[in-house]
Structure 1
Amino acid sequence: MPFSFRTELSIPPQNRRLTLHTPVFTAGSCFAEVMGQKIQHYKVPTLVNPFGTIFNPVSLFTLLQAALQSPPTFTGELVQREELWLAYDFHSSFAAPSGPELLMRIQQAITQSHNFLKQADTLVLTFGTAVGYIHKASNQLVANCHKIPQSQFQKRLLAISQIVASFNSFYAVLQQVNPNARIVLTVSPVRHLKETIEGNSVSKSILRVACQELQERYAEVNYFPAYELLLDDLRDYRFYKPDLIHPTEVAEDYIWEKFKTAYFDQDFQQFTEKWDKIRQALAHKPFHPESVNHQQFLKKLLNQLEELNTKVDCRSEISAVKKQLIAG
């Protein structure tokens, strides 16, 4: 009997497949950004983490529900830290020198999200942690403490029932705005070791059970096992960056390939192979850019891009290649 030193996780192909032109919305933890950028890389219409990184699911659902209102409305609390204004409901990338300027940025983000969510086919929502922080003065859960003194917050572990109830509220509004939208839930494989190893295990377990409950409750909600692919399939510290917290690019690519195979149609799979070769060609830096060989290489590349331009928008790449061609 041969030995097996790895348990590969096989994910069955989905009946409802994404295409090259299917709008995809991703939001949540930093892993949502990783996956969203990979989808976006292949020219799929994608809106990636429009609120910035949001780690806990309840804060994420609150923002999504606000974006789905007509008109989309933000009613959260602002805070001034040193010379910047920030919002407790948003990532610290949303910062401005004045409250009105910050509110304008926030309104732009939720309006953009509103318009995209109305026509999105699939929402990929990634949960990072079940640990939440309650702002004592307002008794409200915050998405980000923004390095405000910890004495102003109470740390709390979110309950599964709280996560499910928050999702139910958001999903009811989503079905009114976009009844055909599908939701793919994932638990981020990024380790939250600041909560301790034991705390991270409890947190991820809560998130995983919440995903299971929601998947069983709703036909158009399913779970993609990004967490299990790293923890149980790859299962090796070689697939973590030196901080032993974040997955390496190799691990991210492995998880992406599993997602792509399960969720995208065959035409998209074929396109990605062509596009990877084209991107590699575009990144090529010749020693002699004016040589006959390189100019022929560019003309061939231009023809390939113009052919693909009938399927996706390749105008920026076509322009970049034309600038390198010598007239005549």
Structure 2
Amino acid sequence: MPEKHPYKGLPDRSFWKRAVATRHYEDMTELWTPPAMEGSEKFATAGSCFAQHLGRHIARRGQGNYLDFETAPLSLPAAEHGRFGYGIYSCRYGNIYTTRQLLQIAQEALNLRSVSEHVLEKDNRFYDAVRPSVDPVGLESREDVIELRKVHLSKVREMLESLDVMIFTLGLTESWMSTVDGTVFPNAPGVVAGSMSSNPAKFHNLSVSESLSDMKEFWNLLREINPTARMILTVSPVPLIATASGNHVLQATIYSKSVLRVVAQEMADSNEDIYYFPSYEIINSAQGGGYYFDPDKRGVNDRGVQYVMSHFFTGDMGKVFPEPGEKPQQTDVVCDEEAIQARVDQDSK
């Protein structure tokens, strides 16, 4: 009788020849194991730019399953919603690129950290330094910015207490930290508004241990106020638009994504209520041949987004969120990082 070995009886997905080599890239299956769902779960999203695709598809399919705690005022035209930070994520926090940003906003919302009073100024208008993109025209005073942030944080707390499943897309490790109190900004002061002299900050590239510690602390805070919460982690497949690390932007991108991929796996492996969805691998694997990127080799095209969604909405996820009919056209994402390129282009004129 043949002796058993550890690979005997494993499913096809465990073997390259069966799962990849003999299949067309778009015929691969079982790229993840979706969590079990009853159908009534409430989902919230946060993260880097790519997270917006997941939120929009869940909202379109979910018929009430998607949480949105900061809806646009009726006076704001629908075409302007995204520009002012509405309808992008479950709260109006803009892009949360790093694990430190995620932890920071949770701590502020739960009164475990002083509310950020970092304000950027440009042309006598004022912007929240930790979410500068949500008010593209700025506010009239510093006091207005801080008061609006307090209202926003109350909504974030409500979201954390109410959600059943949080989807967080990890995007970057590169961050800019205030030299005054360590507050992390999504962009360096001076990119959107303000300046390094009025809002001093230092560059910091988060390590594996730092990012993992941030995620563990965030998870503990979430479970303290919401003991049955679950979380789905993804890593954005979108490369960095720029790096302040001193390395080539390609090398810097691989570093960031590698760190975050490890962190996501560590969290999923050590917590039965945390799951990893491989949007990064689906888009970036060499076997895909770069087919899902725009000509700039950075933006993910509509075919790529649709292919990611075809894997995400499988198992119970597909049952809870059935495809309602005609697939929507890809909607532009709102990305704080693009302000860096816009500022660089402006400076070169």
TM range (shorter): 0.7 to 0.9
How many residues align structurally?
Answer: 274
Asked if residue 46 in structure 1 is aligned to residue 94 in structure 2, the reply is: no
Asked if residue 6 in structure 1 is aligned to residue 4 in structure 2, the reply is: no
Equivalent residue for 1:264, pick from 317, 329, 339: 317
Aligned equivalent of 2:235: 187
Aligned equivalent of 1:244: 297
Equivalent residue for 2:163, pick from 117, 120, 124: 120
Does structure 2 conserve the Cα–Cα contact (< 8 Å) formed by 1:6 and 1:234? yes
1:277 and 1:215, CA in 2 relative to 1: closer, same or farther beyond 3 A?
closer
Asked if residue 170 in structure 1 is aligned to residue 218 in structure 2, the reply is: yes
Which stretch shifts more, 25-34 or 58-67?
58-67
Question: Higher relative CO (CA 8 A, sep ≥ 6), structure 1 or 2?
Answer: 2
Does structure 1 conserve the Cα–Cα contact (< 8 Å) formed by 2:283 and 2:290? no
Equivalent residue for 2:106, pick from 57, 64, 73: 64
Alignment of 1:1-328 (within 5 A): 6=25, 8=28, 10-17=30-37, 19=39, 21-42=40-61, 43=63, 44-47=65-68, 48-50=89-91, 51-69=93-111, 74-94=115-135, 95-146=138-189, 147=191, 148-149=194-195, 152-195=200-243, 196-232=249-285, 235-266=288-319, 268-269=321-322, 272=323, 275-277=324-326
CA radius of gyration, larger in: 1
For normalisation by structure 2, the TM-score amounts to 0.70
1:267 and 1:208, CA in 2 relative to 1: closer, same or farther beyond 3 A?
closer
Identical columns (%): 21
Does structure 1 conserve the Cα–Cα contact (< 8 Å) formed by 2:237 and 2:280? yes
Return the letter of the residue paired with 1:136: T
Return the letter of the residue paired with 2:325: D
SS at match of 2:282: helix
Which stretch shifts more, 157-166 or 109-118?
109-118
For 1:102 and 1:249, how far apart are their aligned partners in 2? Answer: 36
What do the CA deviations read for 1:58-101 (whole angstroms, capped 9, x no partner)? Answer: 1122112322449x973342232332222232242244221222
For 2:38 and 2:308, how far apart are their aligned partners in 1? Answer: 17
For normalisation by structure 1, the TM-score amounts to 0.74
Which stretch shifts more, 197-206 or 110-119?
110-119
Return the letter of the residue paired with 2:134: S
Structure 1 residue 102: deviation in Å? 1.7
CA RMSD of aligned residues (A): 2.9
Structure 2 stretches lacking a partner, 5+ long: 1-16, 69-88, 244-248, 330-349
Does structure 2 conserve the Cα–Cα contact (< 8 Å) formed by 1:16 and 1:263? yes
For 2:180 and 2:186, how far apart are their aligned partners in 1? Answer: 15
1:101 and 1:235, CA in 2 relative to 1: closer, same or farther beyond 3 A?
same
For 2:97 and 2:172, how far apart are their aligned partners in 1? Answer: 6
Structure 1 stretches lacking a partner, 5+ long: 281-328
